[in-house]
Amino acid sequence: MIELGKIQKLEVVRDTQIGVYLNSKGSKDRDAVLLPKSQVPEETQVGDEIEAFIYRDSEDRMIATTRKPKLTVGELAMLRVVETTNIGAFLDWGLEKDLFLPFKEQIGKVINDGTYLVGVYIDKSSRLSATMNVYNFLRTESPYKQNDRVKGTVYSINKEIGAFVAVDNKYQGLIPNKELYQNIIEGESVDARVMRVRQDGKLELSLRKEAHNEIEEDAKNIMDRINLSGGTLKVNDKSTPEHIKAELSMSKAAFKRAVGRLLKEGAIEITNEGIKRMW
């Protein structure tokens, strides 16, 4: 059976002037799909197998191509918008016919030349379409474990929960609010650390390294801010976590660890007003 939206090996069942017709082995000829002549490999004969992708052409007919799309049904990828219209947007996915992203499947504002994380699905009219609602495309059986480094794409931000990340554009990930010490936006690529793998397989992520690896970098950031402020910084261990996060983009615990390092080195002193540089 030929599958729409999938790359598959199909048998050449008929040769014509406009191309060859392909079908799965043992299927009836009347269900065969055309592979245009321009894409037929040289010396192809009836009975040969060809790897092809099946989609619909501009006249809504099933057609085969040997070109590889940037994603297939059930997969995710970052695609560029080539045109926006009053019915939706069209995306470049590597084929002659662009992929349609309906308005009802869009999240936020979609603009020309913008790139967005989308999945491909078969709609109620048996056409291939794109969606920005990617949650159900993501899996939970990732190969990652605690403290592994991962890359992913932020696909949604919830102010009360955190940033949802498609790890490898395949797996469910979340950066909790408590770990968001920098501004990130939907569609942004992030490099993160796995804090833990939940029982349901979803990954909890952090944009920061392990605590013992962050101290030196945090200490440097604090000294840089002190220098920019003329030698003093109005933040100390009595400051609220919110104030520290706003000033230094780090947690209070990370701040205290870094300040401890700087005090030990004699680089700073703590005053009632904040932190003062010693040299």
Query: One fold for both 7-65 and 76-135?
Result: yes
Domain boundaries, the chain: 7-65, 76-135, 139-206, 211-277
194/208 Cα distance (integer angstroms): 10
Q: Quote the pLDDT of residue 213.
A: 62
Among 103, 106, 105, 81, residue whose Cα is nearest residue 93: 81
What would the two tokens of residue 204 be? 């909890």
7-65: in CATH 1.10.8.80: no
Q: Which CATH architecture has domain 211-277?
A: Orthogonal Bundle (1.10)
Answering whether pTM is above 0.75, one says no
How many CB atoms sit inside 10 A of residue 238's CB? 9
61/77 Cα distance (integer angstroms): 25
At which residue do the structure tokens 């560029």 appear? 80
Provide the CATH number for the domain formed by 139-206 in this structure. 2.40.50.140
DSSP code at position 199 = T
AA identity, residue 129 = S
Alpha helices in the chain (DSSP H): 211-228, 241-248, 252-265
AA identity, residue 101 = L
AA identity, residue 186 = E
Give yes or no for a contact between 247 and 255, defined as CB atoms under 8 angstroms apart. no
| Residues listed for the chain | 279
C-alpha distances (whole Å) from 81 to each of 64, 92, 100, 258 are 23, 6, 10, 44
AA identity, residue 6 = K
Half-sphere exposure of 251 (CA within 13 A, CB side): 16
Q: Quote the pLDDT of residue 277.
A: 84
Q: Quote the pLDDT of residue 110.
A: 94
Half-sphere exposure of 16 (CA within 13 A, CB side): 12
Q: Quote the pLDDT of residue 210.
A: 58
At which residue do the structure tokens 């020309």 appear? 112
How many CB atoms sit inside 10 A of residue 251's CB? 19
Mean pLDDT by 10 residues, the chain (279 residues): 95 95 84 94 94 93 96 96 96 96 94 96 95 95 94 92 95 91 86 94 86 72 86 86 83 82 83 81
C-alpha distances (whole Å) from 70 to each of 6, 81, 129, 190, 215 are 12, 14, 14, 21, 41
Provide the CATH number for the domain formed by 76-135 in this structure. 2.40.50.140
